[in-house]
Amino acid sequence: MPTKTKTKAEIADIIKRIELISGENIYKCYQCGKCTAGCVMAGEMDISPYKVIRMIQLGLVEKALESESMWLCAACFACRERCPKEVDLSKIMEALRVIQVRDGKPLIEPEEVADEVIEEMPQQGIVSAFRKYN
Amino acid sequence: MKYSYFPGCTLHTQTKNFNDSIKITSSLLDIELEELKDWQCCGAVYPLTADSTMGLVSPYRSLQKAYEEGTDLVTVCSACYNVLKRTNFAVSNDAQIRKKLSEYMDVDEYAGESKVLHLLEAMRENKGFEKIKEKTINPLKDLRVAPYYGCLLLRPSEELKFDNPENPTIFEEFINSMGAIAVDFPNRIECCGAYVSITSKRKVKGATESILKSAAKRNADIIITSCPLCYHNLAKEQEQLVQSDYLFKPIPILYFTQLLALAFGIEVGSCGFESNRIDARPILKSKNLISGGDAL
Ligand code: SF4
Ligand code: SF4
C-alpha cells in the first residue's frame, strides 16, 4: 500500500491547480473511454488517458502525477476532437506536465539529450520537446 | 495572389529541400510568397495552458506583422500552421488575450484580421488544383502516393477548419491533380508520436509502425507529408522496421511539394531528392518518372 503523503486540503489544491492551468472542468468526464480508444500512445502509458482523469476526480492526484502517461501524450488532439463531453484531455495532460516542470521536475534536461538525437531531429521537434518536457 | 510567408525554423535549416520546392512550385501556381521580415520561431507547439499567455507572444508578433503588410499569412510546416492558426483563433475570439498581448508587446491591437493559410489551402483558394493539372508536364502516372496528414493540420478542427478531421480529402485532390494515384490508408490521420521521440526510448515505435504498415498494406510507393517531425519519425523508425521485418519494403517519405516539382518537370537535381532520408529515386525511376541518368 502506498503511504498517503498529502492531506485532503493539499489534494484539493492540486485539483484546483490542474483545473486552473488546463481551464477544463475535470468532472465533466463521464468515463466513456472514447479518448483512450483513439489515443495512439495509450498502449505505451502505464495509466490510460481516461483513467488519468478518473484518478484526478477521485483525488488520487499523486498517482496521476507519478505516472508516465502525461510525458507520453503527444498532444495530437484526437481525444479532444472526439470527446462527447467536450473535455480537452490534451489540456489536462499539459497541466500535469506543467505542474511537474514548474515544481522543478522536468522530464529532460538539455545536456541529457544525446548528440545524435540533436543532430538528426528537426528543429521543430527539438523545440516542441523542450516546450513540453522542460 | 500575394501572401506573407512564414517558413519556420526547420525549413530554413534542416529541410531546405522542402523550402526550395515550395518556392519553385508556388510561383508556378501564381502564389507569390514573400518571406515575413524578422520572423521568429512560432514555438512549435501551441501552449495549452489557460493561466499563461507568454507562449503566444511570438506567433502573435508574426500575425501582427503580416497584418501590417496587408496580407494573409501562408505557412507550410504543419506545426507552424497549427500554432499560428490557433493563435489567430484565440486573438479573434478572446478580447482579453489580445489586449494582454498587445499591451505587453506595446503594439496596436490585432484581432485576427489576417487569415492564416496552409499552402494547400492557398492552392484551394486560388484554383491551384486545376492549375496543377494544366501545368503538370510529367504526370506521375501509376505512382501510388499515400497522403499522411497526421494531427497538426486537422485538429482541433473547430479552430483550424482545414478539412473534415476524420475524412480529409485535400491531399487526395492534390495527388490526383498531378496524375498520381491517391492511396487510401486507414492511419493517415493518426499521430506519429511527435516530440516523444526525443527521449530515445523508442516509445513512438508502435505509432510509426502502424502508420507505415497501414500504407504498405495498400501498396503505397511513396508517403507524403507536410510536417518535418512526422517525416523524421516515419523515416527513422522505418530504418529499424526494415531491419526487423524482412518482408517490409521501404517506402520513401517526401515533402508534398517535392513531388509537385517533379510533376512540373523541374530538373530532378532541384527537387531535393538527394537529401531525403530514404531515397525515392529508385522507385521513381522504376515508374519512368525520372530517367536512369537522373537517378544517379
Ligand atoms: S472521451 Fe471525454 S468523457 Fe469519455 S472518457 Fe474521455 S475525457 Fe471522459
Ligand atoms: S492528445 Fe495525448 S492523450 Fe489525447 S489522444 Fe493524443 S496522445 Fe492521447
B138 in the same domain as B114: no
Residue A123 burial (CB count, 10 A) = 21
Distance from CA of B254 to the nearest CA of A (A): 15
C-alpha cell at A122: 528537426
pLDDT tens digits in sequence order for chain A, 134 residues long:
555 689 999 999 999 999 999 999 999 999 999 999 999 999 999 999 999 999 999 999 999 999 999 999 999 999 999 999 999 999 999 999 999 999 999 999 999 999 999 999 999 999 999 999 99
Residue B293 has pLDDT above 70, yes or no: no
Distance from CA of A3 to the nearest CA of B (A): 30
Residue B124 counted as domain residue: no
CA distance A134 to A131: 6
Average pLDDT over residues B210-235: 98
The answer to whether the Cα torsion of B77, B78, B82, B88 is positive or negative is positive
Whether the CB-CB separation of B74 and B119 falls below 8 Å is answered with yes
Residue A16 burial (CB count, 10 A) = 10
Ligand number nearest to the C-alpha of A31: 1
B32 in the same domain as B113: yes
B141 in the same domain as B106: no
B189 in the same domain as B45: no
Give the C-alpha distances (Å, rounded to integers) separating A56 from A14, A89, B206.
9, 12, 27
CATH number at residue B282: 3.40.50.11810
B152 in the same domain as B276: yes
Q: What band does B296 get if pLDDT is binned at 50, 70 and 90?
A: very low
Q: How far is CA B205 from the centre of its chain?
A: 22
Q: Which of B96, B119, B142 is the last residue of a domain?
A: B119
Residue B227 with chain A: CB contacts under 8 Å: 124
Q: What band does B199 get if pLDDT is binned at 50, 70 and 90?
A: confident
Ligand number nearest to the C-alpha of A69: 2
DSSP helix/strand/coil, B116: strand
Best of A124, A126, A128 to substitute, by most chain B Cβ atoms within 10 angstroms, is: A124
Q: Which residues contact B94 (CB under 8 A, 6 or more apart)?
A: none
| Continuous segment of H or E residues that includes residue B145 | strand B144-147
Q: Which residues contact B126 (CB under 8 A, 6 or more apart)?
A: B1, B29, B30, B31
Cis peptide before A84, with omega less than 30 degrees from 0? no
Whether the CB-CB separation of B58 and B42 falls below 8 Å is answered with yes
Residue B272 lies in domain: 132-295
Report the atom number in ligand 1 closest to the C-alpha of A30: 3
Residue B239 counted as domain residue: yes
Which residue on chain A is closest to B229 by alpha carbon? A125
B179 burial class (0-12, 13-18, 19+ CB within 10 angstroms)?
middle
Residue A48 with chain B: CB contacts under 8 Å: none
How many contacts (CB atoms, under 8 Å) link A and B? Answer: 139
Residue B157 counted as domain residue: yes
pLDDT in tens, B55-73: 999 999 999 999 999 999 9
Residue B201 has pLDDT above 90, yes or no: no
Report the atom number in ligand 2 closest to the C-alpha of B151: 6
Instruction: Say which CATH class A8-133 falls into.
Output: mainly alpha
Residue B294 has pLDDT above 80, yes or no: no
Q: What is the pLDDT of residue B26?
A: 97
CA distance B90 to B93: 5
Whether the CB-CB separation of B156 and A87 falls below 8 Å is answered with no
Cα angle: B193, vertex B198, B202; to 5 degrees: 65
CA distance B169 to B201: 34
Residue B127 counted as domain residue: no
Residue B32 counted as domain residue: yes
B209 in the same domain as B66: no
The answer to whether the Cα torsion of B267, B271, B276, B282 is positive or negative is negative
Q: What is the pLDDT of residue A60?
A: 97
B249 in the same domain as B105: no
- Residues whose beta carbon lies within 6 Å of some atom of ligand 2: A 35, 39, 41, 49, 73-79, 89-90, 93; B 191
Q: What is the pLDDT of residue B154?
A: 98
- Which parts of A1-134 are beta strand (E)? none
Residue B69 counted as domain residue: yes
Residue B100 has pLDDT above 60, yes or no: yes
* Residue from A29, A46, A70, A93 to probe ligand 2 pocket by mutation (most atoms less than 8 Å from CB): A93
ipTM of the complex: 0.95
Whether the CB-CB separation of B44 and B122 falls below 8 Å is answered with no
For chain A, give every domain's residue range. 8-133
Number of domains in chain B: 2
Percent of chain B with pLDDT over 70: 98
Range with the poorest average pLDDT among A101-110, B86-95, B134-143, B286-295: B286-295
Residue B264 burial (CB count, 10 A) = 20
Reported as half-sphere exposure (CB side, CA atoms, 13 A), residue A114 has a value of 9
